[in-house]
C-alpha cells in the first residue's frame, strides 16, 4: 500500500533540517579538505534534477558543484571514454555532483546506438577498476540510481509537453528513449550487476514520490559521509561606520521597472 502523500509543510520542515546538515557537511569538507563525488543516474523523468536542486538550495556553489556535461566533441570522442570526466572529479574541499556521469556509456549511448555492444562491455569491465583508483585516491564516491515506474514516467513526460518551464526537458532524444523502456531496463540491470562493487556500490531509490525521494536521498548521502560539526564563533554584526560628512544622493540612470 502506497504511503500517504507528504504535506507541503511537513516536507519543508524535514527538508529544512536536512539543509542544515548539508551546510555542516559543507563546512566540514572545507575545513578538512575532504573530497566527495556523487553520481545521479536514471531514466528521463526519474527525478534527478529535482533531487539535485533540493541539495543545492542552501549550500555554496563554490563547494557543492554540479557537473552536467554536453555531448562529447569530435576530439573527446577519440579519447578514452572516461577521460573527459576525470578533470571534474573533486579536489580538496569540493563536493561534485554529476547529473549523469561516465555511466552514459552503459545507458543512453548503448541503448541509442552511440557506441557498440563491444565498447559498452569493455566499459563495464574497466569501470570498477577506475572507480577503485578514484576511491583509493581519497574520494568518497556515492552512486545513486533513481528507479521510476512506467506510469509515473509517462505522467512526468506528458507534463513537459505544454509547460513552457519544462519544454527544454523534452528533446527528440528524450522522446525516443521513452519508447525504449525495455532496452533501458536491460542496460540498467547489466550496468548495476557489473559495477555494484564493495568500494563503489549502487544505491537504488524508487522515485515515484518526488518529496520522499529527495528526503531519502539527502538523508542517505549524509549517513554515508563521516562529517562532524565544525565549531564556529557566533557572528556579531559591528556598528556601521560614520558617514564622515558623506550625503548619499544616489540617483541611478537606469532602474528596473516595478511591474510586480
The reply to whether 72 falls in a domain is yes
pLDDT range class, residue 99, cuts 50, 70, 90: very high
CA 66, CA 70: separation in Å to the nearest integer? Answer: 13
Q: Could you tell me the end-to-end alpha-carbon distance of the chain, in angstroms, rounded to an integer?
A: 45
Q: Are the C-beta atoms of 146 and 214 separated by less than 8 Å?
A: no
pLDDT score for 168? 85
* pLDDT in the model for residue 67: 97
Nearest to 31 by CA among 254, 227, 244, 238: 227
Verdict on whether the full-model pTM lies above 0.75: yes
Mean pLDDT rounded to a whole number for the chain: 94
Confidence of residue 157 (pLDDT cuts 50, 70, 90): very high
On whether residue 195 sits in a domain, the answer given is yes
What domain range is 156 assigned to? 9-76+86-223
3-state secondary structure of 155: helix
Q: Could you tell me if residue 260 is inside a domain?
A: no
More confident: 247 or 33: 33
Task: Describe the crossing of helices 8-32 and 210-223 by its angle, rounded to 10 degrees.
Answer: 30
Residue 240 included in any domain: no
Is residue 117 domain-resident?
yes
Report pLDDT digits (tens) over 195-221.
999 999 999 999 999 999 999 999 999
Q: Give the per-residue pLDDT at 210.
A: 96
What pLDDT score was predicted for residue 2?
A: 65
Walk across the sheet containing 202-206 and list its strands: 64-67, 94-99, 35-42, 139-147, 202-206
CATH of the domain at 30: 3.40.50.300
Cα angle 180, 102, 187; round to 5: 30
Structural domain count of the chain: 1
Whether 47 is in a domain gets the answer yes
Q: Does any domain span residue 162?
A: yes
- What pLDDT does 174 receive? 83
Q: Is residue 185 part of a domain?
A: yes
CA angle at 66 for the pair 31 and 6, rounded to the nearest 5°: 95
Q: How far is CA 130 from CA 80, 123, 141, 144, 232, in A?
A: 12, 10, 12, 18, 38
* 128 pLDDT above the threshold of 90: yes
Quick one: pLDDT at residue 104? Answer: 93
Q: Residue 122: helix, strand or coil by DSSP?
A: helix
- Ranges 71-75, 184-188, 217-221: which has the least confidence: 71-75
Percent of the chain with pLDDT strictly greater than 70: 99
Question: Which whole number is the average pLDDT over 131-142?
Answer: 98
Residue bearing cell 559498452? 120
Whether the pLDDT of residue 1 is over 70: the answer is no
Which has the minimum average pLDDT: 44-58, 59-73, 237-251?
Answer: 237-251
DSSP assignments along 209-231, one per residue:
SHHHHHHHHHHHHHHTS---PPP
Amino acid at each position: 500500500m502506497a504511503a500517504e502523500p507528504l504535506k507541503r509543510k511537513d516536507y519543508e520542515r524535514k527538508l529544512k533540517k536536512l539543509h542544515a546538515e548539508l551546510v555542516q557537511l559543507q563546512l566540514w569538507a572545507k575545513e578538512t579538505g575532504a573530497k566527495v563525488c556523487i553520481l545521479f543516474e536514471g531514466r528521463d523523468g526519474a527525478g534527478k534534477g529535482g533531487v539535485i536542486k533540493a541539495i543545492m538550495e542552501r549550500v555554496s556553489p563554490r563547494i557543492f558543484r554540479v557537473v552536467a556535461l554536453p555531448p562529447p566533441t569530435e576530439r573527446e570522442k577519440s579519447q578514452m571514454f572516461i577521460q573527459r570526466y576525470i578533470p571534474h572529479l573533486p579536489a580538496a574541499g569540493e563536493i561534485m555532483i554529476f547529473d549523469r556521469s561516465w555511466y552514459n556509456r552503459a545507458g543512453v549511448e548503448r541503448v541509442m546506438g552511440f557506441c557498440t555492444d563491444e565498447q559498452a562491455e569493455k566499459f563495464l569491465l574497466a569501470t570498477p577498476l577506475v572507480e577503485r583508483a578514484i576511491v583509493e585516491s581519497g574520494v568518497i564516491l556515492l552512486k545513486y540510481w533513481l528507479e521510476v515506474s512506467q506510469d509515473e514516467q509517462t505522467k512526468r513526460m506528458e507534463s513537459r509537453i505544454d509547460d513552457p518551464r519544462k519544454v527544454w526537458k523534452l528533446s527528440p532524444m528524450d522522446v525516443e528513449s521513452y519508447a525504449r523502456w525495455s532496452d533501458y531496463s536491460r542496460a540498467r540491470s547489466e550496468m548495476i550487476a557489473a559495477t555494484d562493487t564493495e568500494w563503489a556500490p549502487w544505491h537504488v531509490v524508487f522515485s515515484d514520490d518526488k518529496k520522499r525521494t529527495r528526503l531519502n536521498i539527502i538523508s542517505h548521502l549524509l549517513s554515508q559521509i563521516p562529517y562532524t560539526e565544525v565549531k564556529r564563533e557566533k557572528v556579531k554584526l559591528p556598528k556601521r561606520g560614520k558617514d564622515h560628512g558623506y550625503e548619499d544622493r544616489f540617483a541611478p540612470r537606469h532602474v528596473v521597472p516595478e511591474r510586480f
